[in-house]
Each structure stands twice: as structure tokens, then as C-alpha cells.
Amino acid sequence: MDPRVSLLREYYGGLPMDRAKVETREHGFAFLERLQEGGLTLDYGELTLSGLLHKYRLSGIPPARMDALLHDHVEKRCNVCLYFADGANRTFCFNLDNNHKTDNTQIIPEMALAMRAVRGALEALGCPPLVLASGRGYHLWCRLSEPVDNTSLYAFMRKVSVGALAAVHAAGLDHRRVKVNVYPDRRTRDTVSLRLFGSDHAKNRVFSRVVSGDGLLDEAASWAEFERHLREKTIAPADFLRAFAASQEPGFMVPEGAS
């Protein structure tokens, strides 16, 4: 097995691996026949206007077929997006997107500050994230050694998100230009999936590199940092409980210096 596939399986091992959404430019009846090889089910397909991108939701995916999809993902033939578990999860993610409609391909100041605020708050709380550049925004992933119930994860992420947007507002910038989606979200866990690390962004065809400080690592260094985050920055249960308790205190704010 490709070692990159093994890393993805280990890092995202708490997410259901029997269903996924696949993004690709491939289409046609012959492709659909190949896509459904191995006994999986094609639930539906859709065409977006982002460079004629096709999205296919798959279910009942056998392990060997998922390995093949993940291999296509790291080889940049498609993007694999996974759904979160219904009750509890070992990973959670902040998806920061750009609401600046006149030019939504650039990292605007509000977005850069919001990312630094979320990252700084998580680090101060003992939950260091893996920060990925993703199109016009960022994905900030955290990994837990044991599953935590979705209600607690959502409450924790909501507090951090509100604190980050407050930091953007306090800096005199327009927090409304930044959209923060959190995963898992109790309202969308069955309908919304999130792209895994290790592939090109569907719109700009740029590899989602790891953010280090204020710079971007190259692809090889990003894979190395992905593995380091897995090995060294997985969050223990007691550490998350302390972080959760701190985030729920009245008056919780993003710590000074987080920006």
C-alpha cells in the first residue's frame, strides 16, 4: 500500500470509511461503471460549474475499494471527501471560507487574521491544529486519541469560532467577510463532507499545503508535517476536557497574541 494512503487511513481512522463523496472531472457511462466496481453503491451524482467538476456520493464502500479511491486521491486523479460519524468523532475541523464576493480567490486580511486567531486559540487551549491552505481559505484539523461526542465538539468549536470572529471585529476589520463552518455539525453531518489532506483543490488545482507560521510548506514537507501532527499532536482525552472546560467559561475570549 502507498504509505500516503496508510497515513490517511490512520489520521482519519475515526471517520466512516464506508461512504464518501468523490470530486473528479471524469464522467460518462464507462467511468461510472469503473467507479462502481467492487460492490459499492452510487447514491447520486451532480455537476458543478467549477470547471465542470463532477461530484459522486458513494456508499457501501468495501475497504479495498476505499484504498483504491484514496490512492487516486493522493495521485490527484480525484478528491475524496469523507462524512463524520453520527454520535462521536476523533477528528474535528474548522473550515474558514471567504465571503468576499468581488474576488474570492485571494486570501483577504480578514481571512488571514481569522485563521491566526483560531490557530492561536487552539494552541493556547492545548489543541494544536494542522492548518491547511484550501482555495480561498483554510482548514484547521484537530485529532483526538479517543472519540468525543459531537455535542461537546460542536460547543467547543462554536466558542472558538465566535472568539476568532470577535478578534477580527476588534481589529477594525469586517468579520462578515469570513464564513466559519465546523465539522462535525449536528445539522449537516449526513449531507456535508470534507476533503481530506493530500490532493489538489478542485477549483484552483493547487495542492493544499500545510501552513507553518505565516508561510506555506512545499508538498513533500507538507506530507512530513501531516505525519508529525499525527504522531506528536494527537490530543489526549484529559487535555480535551481541560480545553473544553476553559472554552465554556463565562467571558471566554481568544487569548491575547493569538492574532
Residue 85 cell numbers, joined: 460519524
Boundary-marking domain end, from 82, 115, 132: 82
* Assigned domain for 258 exists: no
Residue 38: closest CA among 65, 66, 5: 65
* Assigned domain for 255 exists: no
User: How much is the pTM?
Assistant: 0.91
pLDDT of residue 259: 45
What does the pLDDT look like over 20-52, one tens digit per residue? 999 988 777 787 888 888 888 888 888 766 555
* Assigned domain for 252 exists: no
pLDDT of residue 101: 58
* Assigned domain for 95 exists: yes
* Assigned domain for 259 exists: no
Residue 168: closest CA among 178, 182, 156, 180: 178
Boundary-marking domain end, from 33, 49, 82: 82
**Whether 21 and 116 share a structural domain:** no
What does the pLDDT look like over 215-241, one tens digit per residue? 999 999 999 999 999 999 999 999 999
Q: How many residues does the chain have?
A: 259
CA dihedral 126, 118, 153, 67 (to 10 degrees): -90
**Whether 93 and 152 share a structural domain:** yes
* Assigned domain for 154 exists: yes
**Whether 103 and 226 share a structural domain:** yes
Boundary-marking domain end, from 63, 82, 101: 82
Residue 96: closest CA among 111, 81, 80: 111
**Whether 137 and 72 share a structural domain:** no
- Confidence bin at 250 (pLDDT 50/70/90): confident
Spatial CB neighbours of 198, under 8 Å, sequence gap ≥ 6: 4, 8, 73, 74, 208, 223, 226
Tally of domains in the chain? 2
Range from 161-165, 190-194, 244-248 carrying the lowest mean pLDDT: 190-194
What does the pLDDT look like over 108-129, one tens digit per residue? 888 889 999 999 999 999 999 9
Give the C-alpha distances (Å, rounded to integers) separating 91 from 113, 132, 143, 164, 245. 24, 15, 4, 20, 18
**Whether 43 and 100 share a structural domain:** no
* Assigned domain for 25 exists: yes
Please provide the distance, in angstroms rounded to a whole number, between the alpha carbons at the two ends of the chain: 41
Task: With a cut of 80, say whether residue 163 has pLDDT above it.
Answer: yes
**Whether 120 and 153 share a structural domain:** yes
- Confidence bin at 245 (pLDDT 50/70/90): very high
Question: Residue 105: which CATH number?
Answer: 3.90.920.10
- What is the rounded distance in angstroms from the CA atom of residue 117 to the CA atom of residue 177? 15
**Whether 98 and 67 share a structural domain:** no
* Assigned domain for 141 exists: yes
The order of strands in the sheet holding 88-98 is 130-134, 137-149, 88-98, 178-183
- What is the rounded distance in angstroms from the CA atom of residue 149 to the CA atom of residue 189? 13
124, 255 Cβ separation under 8 angstroms: yes
**Whether 172 and 99 share a structural domain:** yes
Q: What percent of the chain has pLDDT over 90?
A: 61
What does the pLDDT look like over 38-97, one tens digit per residue? 888 888 888 766 555 789 999 999 999 999 999 999 999 999 999 999 999 999 999 998
pLDDT of residue 183: 95
User: What's the domain range around 101?
Assistant: 88-247
**Whether 103 and 62 share a structural domain:** no
Q: Under DSSP, is residue 59 helix (H, G, I), strand (E, B) or coil?
A: strand
**Whether 119 and 238 share a structural domain:** yes
Give the C-alpha distances (Å, rounded to integers) separating 148 from 87, 118, 205. 8, 20, 34
Question: Residue 58: which CATH number?
Answer: 3.30.70
Instruction: Count how many Cα atoms sit within 13 Å of the Cα of residue 180 in the half-sphere of its side chain.
Output: 26
What does the pLDDT look like over 172-220, one tens digit per residue? 888 888 899 999 987 776 678 999 999 987 666 788 899 998 799 999 9
**Whether 197 and 111 share a structural domain:** yes
**Whether 46 and 145 share a structural domain:** no
